[in-house]
Structure 1
């Protein structure tokens, strides 16, 4: 049992090492790798080579699958070149398995020591993240050494031999076990290297190891299918095509596994090398032969997964690429673009609001409610997307941007709720009882509405460009809008004192309306605070500012001779 625990811990270390390498390489070079994959689509062989190169760097065909599926889902890459990239990814992960199969145990302590030194000294920089990727590579090599050491006692342990006694050469069973192990570890690399090590130790036969290798390839394809389940139909087609390619290779090879065992055994006496060589040759030959068939496979996937019309016209996110989660700068940029879409929806709601106020337009009122449902949906998606971005790995600038994005998202969602509340109040207090605002009151509301829309546009511009002058202008507009709301509340009371019938009937609605507009305006202007705070121009508090303004006004009045200090 202790021997099995040692093996399991070594496998866990192997999986963790590959995770670290994949995560940190994507965080540092994710944008460049994604650009390579998205632009290398003009020729089939170029797309295939891009898949080989990118997967060799991230050491995971599943990571490449997630990126490619998201590209196809967004319409950035066609299905045919995406399938060519996936074939290249299969070859890339096989080549990395071959490289790691060599005896590099002497390199492991150097990589871990050097990586730790670099990471601790430059933790929140790109160099520090590369240092952590080097640590991950060192852990992979260390894990392989531990796996080899853990399997040595298995040759003499009766219990362990009983555990593996089910692997007796049943082709389908062994293939299924290899697929399950690759799915559990999220890594075909771990499954292949374990099979090679167990074969070298004499615990399993070469035939069983070859079946485990083929099963590991299938398991990796199933994992890609599960990862693409959240994508649209276009994205799922990529994972389906890749899985069908893997399945067709297994169907063609498994009937001849006995002949392949004899052929592979003739490569040499080193069984570990033989298993890894089979993995490389199997994927290289399979993908090379299937590359000319990417176009027919694309047509087949389109038939198997046809586009279905949407049940409704609901707005869905367009920029929240799940493949960018491991690259915080890209993830924040994607979330920012989606928040701007929410801002556009709020602007549409404001545009529809004025006809409801002026003309009692119930059709526009229903449209506002539908738009608010879209805002709520995008708000939830952006919020959950940002929650998946690890804040521990963000630098100070990225943390500020993360906070700005989530703050604006919340503020825009609250603004949408305020607009819906305004519409409900209009329906209950104005439209249903057939009341109207006075001409003066309507003019005041229209002026505040126009300034509200302008401030929304300016606030989104400040969020996008972080311009200090625009931020200062936005805060000045906030103070002016607050003063305007107070002035219009007073003029409304004057009309009430004059017993204006329309003002009396709509008094409560009018005051609530301008008050809600002021709340919305404050939400739109909140983007200015972060920009001014970063520039060191944010005032300490409104109370201090008011005291300074009073002192300045008194000084000016004293200089003019109109004020005598007490």
Structure 2
């Protein structure tokens, strides 16, 4: 019975730790998710910026897995190259280790204050305050869980059974490494595994080995989560797993020596496991950074790009389903999702052409635009023939689908007839934007791509909270466009040559991206209108 009570205490502490990590991640994503994604996308033009963006994103999200998934998605959408992605993940690994240091720094007494402050902010209701409050509550719960872990493992540390078992595990380091890796996979967090290892009284060498295992297992959830993405995204997470595996194999024979060296190193004592976690990831980053290019190419040879087949016609518009409105609407919705993916690809290719000053990707934009036009017309024709047995609710659904597909067609037109010619003009005339102007436009591109992905999710799930966040982003887009135009005019007055040459192009691209966002975000309007959350006019009431 005593053993069951101890097991329940430890399991409950681990569960609270995982819950706290999840709260921090969700809260940070709610409050600063768009800004973090933008910072991650913009922060990969140089190696140091890529490393720093991965580190900062992981400190905010409390999860290198979340950063790895964001990075893999950027690579999948051709918004980041694979070498820079590997550097981002090196920064993410160091970010996780720094999080462990902060959480283990003896701040348990601050937990009640953090939870109280988090609750006050959460009650304020606004997205940024609410998300920040949830993150603070999660951090407070993580500190509480560490106290629970310390009390729960106190009996184990003095247990004669554990004292007899540890020499056996200490003499089988490969088994210990795999056991710790499995623990990290089950927790979906190397941070949780390292903190649990830190709470046990283990021999020095065994502690280092189990930290290595936690690092290895921490890379596995991201690999599993990207199995449905393209090969380029999967190469990013597989490369990170390979890097960690090589590091573990190199350090494991020296684990005893490394552990003794760390105990003698003059630094604030946060526990050998936490210190080994930080030292391993810093050393790995320093050694692997110069080799990220060859590693990316090596992984590419084992997992080459797949041949993508593009459907020439509708894939989900089943003629026999027209007499069953529910089935017909489901097919039409899936077809519109495919059209949205094509429009998203057009936007990605246009940004790539702008970024690389290369018009080659724009040829595919022309082809995709013709496909989008044809398929959206087929959806409209299909829904116009919906069976007479359709209910009023099903008719409203068909109108919502039509509204979204028409907006997607408008977005395709803006890309093909607005953005693509503007990029061709930039390349053809050899125009160069100022550094500030380029970053402002690239930021608008990234936010537009993020909003496109969120609009697809809102269309499919009809989630009210996500729809509300999408509409709130429209205000940010409007502010970003206005601020960029104002900064551009200031640079003009200062007489910057690059700004003068690209003036009309800069403002035209900003205008077109703003128009795209307006069409994309409109998918949220019917959902919020049904809930009575929209107003008729933006005019302030007298």
Cα 1:256–1:109 change in 2 (3 A) is: same
Provide the aligned C-alpha RMSD in A.
4.1
Q: Which residue of 2 aligns with 1:195?
A: 197
Alpha carbons 1:391, 1:399 under 8 Å: kept: no
Alpha carbons 2:314, 2:375 under 8 Å: kept: no
CA shift for structure 1 position 268: 7.4
Q: Which residue of 2 aligns with 1:250?
A: 248
**Aligned with residue 216 of structure 1, among 180, 191, 214:** 214
Alpha carbons 1:462, 1:527 under 8 Å: kept: no
Structure 2 residue 188 is the aligned partner of structure 1 residue 186: yes
Aligned-partner SS, 2:199: helix
Cα 1:271–1:212 change in 2 (3 A) is: farther
Q: Which residue of 1 aligns with 2:284?
A: 286
For residues 316 and 31 of structure 1, the distance between their equivalents in structure 2, rounded to whole angstroms, comes to: 33
Q: Which residue of 2 aligns with 1:560?
A: none
TM-score scaled to structure 2, two decimals? Answer: 0.61
Alpha carbons 2:17, 2:142 under 8 Å: kept: yes
For residues 264 and 461 of structure 1, the distance between their equivalents in structure 2, rounded to whole angstroms, comes to: 52
Alpha carbons 1:20, 1:133 under 8 Å: kept: yes
Q: Which residue of 1 aligns with 2:444?
A: none
For residues 57 and 212 of structure 1, the distance between their equivalents in structure 2, rounded to whole angstroms, comes to: 26
Structure 1, residues 446-498: CA drift from partner, whole Å, max 9, x if none? Answer: xxxxxxxxxxxxxx99965759xxx9xxxxxxxxxxxxxxxxxxxxxxxxxxx
Q: Which residue of 2 aligns with 1:564?
A: none
Q: Which residue of 1 aligns with 2:311?
A: 313
Q: Which residue of 2 aligns with 1:263?
A: 261
Alpha carbons 1:268, 1:274 under 8 Å: kept: no
CA shift for structure 1 position 383: 11
Cα 1:274–1:166 change in 2 (3 A) is: same
Alpha carbons 1:116, 1:131 under 8 Å: kept: yes
CA shift for structure 1 position 310: 3.2
Cα 1:40–1:159 change in 2 (3 A) is: same
Structure 1, residues 374-414: CA drift from partner, whole Å, max 9, x if none? Answer: x9xx9xx999945997948558576999xxxxxxxxxxxxx
CA shift for structure 1 position 337: 5.1
For residues 41 and 27 of structure 2, the distance between their equivalents in structure 1, rounded to whole angstroms, comes to: 20
For residues 244 and 95 of structure 2, the distance between their equivalents in structure 1, rounded to whole angstroms, comes to: 15
Q: Which residue of 1 aligns with 2:296?
A: 298
Alpha carbons 2:458, 2:467 under 8 Å: kept: no
Q: Which residue of 2 aligns with 1:74?
A: 77
For residues 517 and 283 of structure 2, the distance between their equivalents in structure 1, rounded to whole angstroms, comes to: 53
**Aligned with residue 238 of structure 2, among 237, 240, 255:** 240
Q: Which residue of 2 aligns with 1:151?
A: 153
For residues 106 and 387 of structure 1, the distance between their equivalents in structure 2, rounded to whole angstroms, comes to: 45
Structure 2 residue 5 is the aligned partner of structure 1 residue 2: yes
Alpha carbons 1:73, 1:231 under 8 Å: kept: yes
Structure 2 residue 107 is the aligned partner of structure 1 residue 104: yes
For residues 214 and 94 of structure 2, the distance between their equivalents in structure 1, rounded to whole angstroms, comes to: 14
Q: Which residue of 2 aligns with 1:495?
A: none
Q: Which residue of 2 aligns with 1:95?
A: 98
For residues 297 and 14 of structure 2, the distance between their equivalents in structure 1, rounded to whole angstroms, comes to: 39
Q: Which residue of 2 aligns with 1:174?
A: 176
**Aligned with residue 206 of structure 1, among 181, 204, 207:** 204
Structure 1, residues 49-96: CA drift from partner, whole Å, max 9, x if none? Answer: 111111112111101000000000010111111111011111111111
CA shift for structure 1 position 21: 0.3
For residues 462 and 378 of structure 2, the distance between their equivalents in structure 1, rounded to whole angstroms, comes to: 33
Alpha carbons 1:169, 1:207 under 8 Å: kept: no
Q: Which residue of 1 aligns with 2:378?
A: 349
Alpha carbons 2:458, 2:466 under 8 Å: kept: no
Q: Where in structure 2 are there 5+ consecutive unaligned residues?
A: 316-336, 345-370, 383-404, 409-452, 474-515, 538-542
Aligned-partner SS, 1:106: helix
Q: Which residue of 2 aligns with 1:31?
A: 34
Structure 1, residues 330-370: CA drift from partner, whole Å, max 9, x if none? Answer: xxxx99955978974543427999xxxxxxxxxxxxxxxxx
For residues 33 and 336 of structure 1, the distance between their equivalents in structure 2, rounded to whole angstroms, comes to: 28
Cα 1:252–1:348 change in 2 (3 A) is: same
**Aligned with residue 143 of structure 2, among 132, 141, 144:** 141
TM-score scaled to structure 1, two decimals? Answer: 0.59
For residues 536 and 380 of structure 2, the distance between their equivalents in structure 1, rounded to whole angstroms, comes to: 35
Aligned-partner SS, 1:167: helix
Aligned-partner SS, 2:45: coil
Superposition pairs of residues 422-441 of structure 1, within 5 angstroms: none
For residues 283 and 273 of structure 2, the distance between their equivalents in structure 1, rounded to whole angstroms, comes to: 15
Which has more radius of gyration? 1
Aligned-partner SS, 2:13: helix
CA shift for structure 1 position 4: 1.5
Cα 1:217–1:530 change in 2 (3 A) is: same
**Aligned with residue 45 of structure 2, among 22, 42, 45:** 42
For residues 299 and 316 of structure 1, the distance between their equivalents in structure 2, rounded to whole angstroms, comes to: 37
Superposition pairs of residues 263-412 of structure 1, within 5 angstroms: 263-267=261-265, 273-310=271-308, 313=311, 338=341, 344=373, 346-349=375-378, 385-386=457-458, 391=463, 393-394=465-466
For residues 101 and 68 of structure 1, the distance between their equivalents in structure 2, rounded to whole angstroms, comes to: 28
CA shift for structure 1 position 156: 3.8
Q: Which residue of 2 aligns with 1:555?
A: none
Aligned-partner SS, 2:194: helix
Cα 1:394–1:123 change in 2 (3 A) is: farther
